Structure 1
């Protein structure tokens, strides 16, 4: 595989995740091994099988959004805009001085405006009592809720980007795939700067009911803080969550010329589909392994050079075994030597957003020299026999990170993030 000649680096990031606002609180949570999952408070969860979630304490007024923005934008779009602003400020870049046609946006989401769509349906149908809805009660912003790309446009307006703008929706790999799309645009020369990442706010009754129906989420309601247990023998489903992470991506030379702090270089990315089953995974991990190999090939990175793997680690039995097999298949003996962890054990699974949130964790692991742990891993599954960094973070130099994602529909994605040579500390 020919490696692209234009290199892509991360120079700014913004995060909203359960347990804290901003990258400092996010990293403090992860590096301490604390969990932020709790009993659902947004609505009465008692009728549902799974009653726990990773909720964000998000106040849009405190975050600087106007009353009009709050009314117009779905909660997920609000998350994306706030994180984009934070990433822009973190990067130190002056967007008004950029060529707007060379600046773009790539936003990922799995369920987009699910929060607002459910709310509006309840209003239109009088709480579900009316089969024929009354259009007189229709929100003037319903089009924005029905059109996922509206959130990407909101981010573009927030930063003044007039270049390539897109919404990427590949289920739970959306956060990785949106970043991968942004990288391709910079690599091919269509943009110099991209604001990219993902946002999802799926903690709503309809989404909770959907995952209840297929028994994908955990029923461990008596212990919310320890409900997410990736790679543990006692795991029994993932914990639904919300969140967002956005990044400023730049062409390497562009970042170097302005003396930017570089968190890391996205040196390889690949995605595959198993063409097998909507929710099922083959036990051999072949499709994820192929995505990993392709990402490593593009990165020109040997398997032995990987210092840390940020796992998908959802906490479902089939996923944890599937990706354990994929690591062994793609990395060989090195799979047994490299530390692997899942931050979903601490912040839950925010569907399309989690891939970007995990890349934020990877960038900070490189920046801080710490591998975050897998919380709640007290009884390792014998079939998951790798080094999953149980309970406690590990201080070590991290130069190269592999992050993977797996999504309903059979999507399998992998991304390589590494310390950029010559980066400004």
Structure 2
């Protein structure tokens, strides 16, 4: 059932591979450029997968003070910079009602880089079983508790309403927007600054994905390493990034004359209760999430103009996802354009879903569908319209974004033209 209080997007902020800021991000997506490259944040020589989509992020140029740079993990730096852009874009910057404003941040891995670095220091590069806490940074507790990221944004925003963290693995970025949207719909807040951030390109993360062979070993050609829906796909490209959005109750936004990018019309989440990393080939749980999100939005599947896919470029996901579209959308699955922007910006774990929701809002705003880069060899088992290589101009009134995460999490969100 459609909610009495409607929720709209009135501000967007982005830190992404290949594009800091929303405009640069959208230019990269619509141009079909890829941001994957050989890892430069550390020496990845010993690893199976040595490619990633890194952010060319200069914290000083982004407006952070030396004190903030020292105190904050890269994940928090991304989140704060994205939140600042979103607030400025919304026109609410400095003009919020504190007790009616909240902050929700999603993350899959939290402060990975700082924890990795600090452990190496207090253990003397891993040589000591008993660590020496005297050498730890004074901000070590903040690195250990991801809620510190939400706290920093709340302080910057003067948000005194609901504040918290959502961590559901690779669906964190969409699940946090669902939660924030529900808080507005239920009357707990009028404005929520919500989104996700992950900066986990570190030895421990790369080693974990190497162990299960989830990431691509296509190290000789990083620019084309991420190949969703392509016959030659062999794993995702790790990435980092952040996207924060200003979500607002519709009448609240209308009264102040805010620019509205899109309305969050429907959403749903499911679990397959099946496997930590495995997916059922029939896609039934994801299909159910899609159907429930469409029902909430009161939309027929045929009303969808675009599907922003999870599209991780793993063999099992792309088959599972394609099956879910056919099950939930019926004949329209063969007509609606589907694309994966992970082909260009990689898979930034919990953050990427928020970046994908941003892409959906911008697709509605500009009536342009981003392409699936590197899709040059169609897989005969994947027979939908995956918008290969080149962006497509097309009016988009209703867009579906989906996400699938380790642990069996499946989430879907429907955005519509306001």
Normalized against structure 2, the TM-score is what? 0.99
Aligned mates of 1:94, 1:369 — CA distance in 2: 27
Residue number in structure 2 paired with 1:249: 247
Aligned mates of 1:135, 1:33 — CA distance in 2: 47
Residue number in structure 2 paired with 1:110: 108
Residue number in structure 1 paired with 2:271: 273
Aligned mates of 2:248, 2:367 — CA distance in 1: 23
Matched position secondary structure for 1:163: coil
Aligned mates of 2:417, 2:401 — CA distance in 1: 14
Task: State which of 285, 288, 296 in structure 2 corresponds to 1:287.
Answer: 285
Aligned mates of 1:61, 1:102 — CA distance in 2: 32
Residue number in structure 2 paired with 1:176: 174
Alignment: residue pair count: 418
Aligned mates of 2:77, 2:160 — CA distance in 1: 20
After TM superposition, give the deviation of residue 184 of structure 1 in Å.
0.3
Matches within 5 A, 1:6-405: 6-95=5-94, 97-405=95-403
Residue number in structure 2 paired with 1:423: none
After TM superposition, give the deviation of residue 33 of structure 1 in Å.
0.6
Deviation string 1:299-348 (CA, Å, 9 cap, x unpaired) is 11110000000000000000000010000000000000000000000000
Matched position secondary structure for 1:413: strand
Aligned mates of 1:345, 1:404 — CA distance in 2: 15
After TM superposition, give the deviation of residue 297 of structure 1 in Å.
0.7
Deviation string 1:41-99 (CA, Å, 9 cap, x unpaired) is 0111110000000000111111111112111111101100000000000011144x332
Aligned mates of 1:250, 1:7 — CA distance in 2: 8
Aligned mates of 1:51, 1:126 — CA distance in 2: 26
- Displaced runs of 4 or more, over 4 A: none
Aligned mates of 2:21, 2:166 — CA distance in 1: 24
After TM superposition, give the deviation of residue 350 of structure 1 in Å.
0.2
Aligned mates of 1:32, 1:43 — CA distance in 2: 29
Deviation string 1:156-189 (CA, Å, 9 cap, x unpaired) is 1111111001100000000000000000000000
Gaps of 5+ in 1: 421-425
Matched position secondary structure for 1:360: helix
Aligned mates of 2:260, 2:402 — CA distance in 1: 22
Give the RMSD, CA atoms, in angstroms.
0.7
Matched position secondary structure for 1:319: helix
Normalized against structure 1, the TM-score is what? 0.98
Aligned mates of 1:180, 1:298 — CA distance in 2: 12
Gaps of 5+ in 2: none
Matched position secondary structure for 1:198: strand
Matched position secondary structure for 1:38: strand
Matched position secondary structure for 1:385: coil
Aligned mates of 2:362, 2:93 — CA distance in 1: 23
Deviation string 1:88-129 (CA, Å, 9 cap, x unpaired) is 00011144x332111001100000101110010011111112
Deviation string 1:357-390 (CA, Å, 9 cap, x unpaired) is 0011111111111000000001111111100000
Matched position secondary structure for 2:387: coil
Aligned mates of 2:133, 2:88 — CA distance in 1: 41
